[in-house]
């Protein structure tokens, strides 16, 4: 299964009245998921596939109060508790779209997101899921019925930053599930992640060099050389 991420920019910020503790809550709201169209990544989500998965995600996570998301581009499909910034509180169908709403938490990363908004910064969201892809005509990659939504929305500040490069590589790697339902990263994924982190931390490569590294790793994956 592939890690699948979709970025959305058109997100609104909502501030509501203070709660019982006297804290003023801040929300983000907008289109979190889209179906029946070729998106900017060349992927197509059939509506029945998305309907089934949104129903499962809503019952298991949103309704249970544990539909969390992170700030930034995570390294894989799982939610990292130490990086949680918000919780998705609703996901409603609107034609071929799903309008989501999330409350920003008073966590380390939630407060960072709040301060970015207060200073006039713009945020986007990126859904994160797992699934198989089948290439159709015109280069469209159709998401299959095994699609599994990890989170309806991570908060993304700058999708063109080096972290997006890391996320792009991880999308190109196969991820496996154990019989017990535990996520397993392949050896290739683990080694690639280590190499990319070294370069992103040092900021030693320019955009062209980063692209070259990206292409090299995809070639290695395709040839199963790792």
Q: Give the residue numbers marked as catalytic.
A: 73, 126
How far apart CA 198 and CA 83 sit, in angstroms, is: 20
Concatenated DSSP letters of 147-166: -EEEEEEEEES-TTSHHHHH
- Other Cβ atoms less than 10 A from the Cβ of 80: the count is 13
- From the number of C-beta atoms within 10 Å of its C-beta (0-12, 13-18, 19+), residue 206 rates as exposed
How far apart CA 168 and CA 95 sit, in angstroms, is: 29
Encode burial over 170-193: b for 16+ CB neighbours within 10 A, e otherwise: bebbebeeeeeeeeebeebbeebb
How far apart CA 213 and CA 172 sit, in angstroms, is: 13
């Amino acid at each position: 299964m592939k890690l699948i991420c979709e970025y959305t920019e058109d997100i609104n910020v909502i501030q509501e009245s203070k709660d019982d503790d006297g804290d003023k809550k801040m929300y983000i709201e907008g289109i979190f998921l889209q179906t029946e169209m070729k998106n900017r990544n060349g992927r197509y989500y059939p509506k029945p596939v998305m309907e089934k998965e949104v129903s499962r995600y809503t019952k298991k996570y949103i309704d249970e109060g544990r539909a969390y998301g992170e700030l930034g581009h995570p390294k894989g499909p799982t939610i990292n508790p130490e990086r949680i910034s918000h919780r998705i509180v609703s996901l409603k169908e609107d034609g071929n779209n799903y309008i989501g709403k999330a409350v920003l938490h008073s966590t380390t990363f939630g407060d960072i997101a709040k301060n970015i908004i207060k200073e006039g910064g713009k945020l986007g969201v990126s859904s994160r899921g797992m699934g198989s892809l089948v290439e159709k005509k015109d280069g469209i990659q159709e998401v299959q019925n095994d699609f599994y939504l990890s989170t309806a929305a991570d908060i993304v500040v700058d999708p063109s930053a080096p972290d997006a490069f890391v996320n792009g590589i991880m999308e190109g790697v196969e991820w496996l599930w154990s019989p017990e339902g535990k996520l397993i990263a392949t050896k290739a994924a683990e080694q690639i992640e280590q190499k990319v982190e070294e370069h992103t931390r040092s900021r030693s490569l320019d955009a062209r060099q980063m692209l070259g590294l990206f292409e090299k790793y995809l070639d290695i994956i395709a040839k199963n050389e790792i």
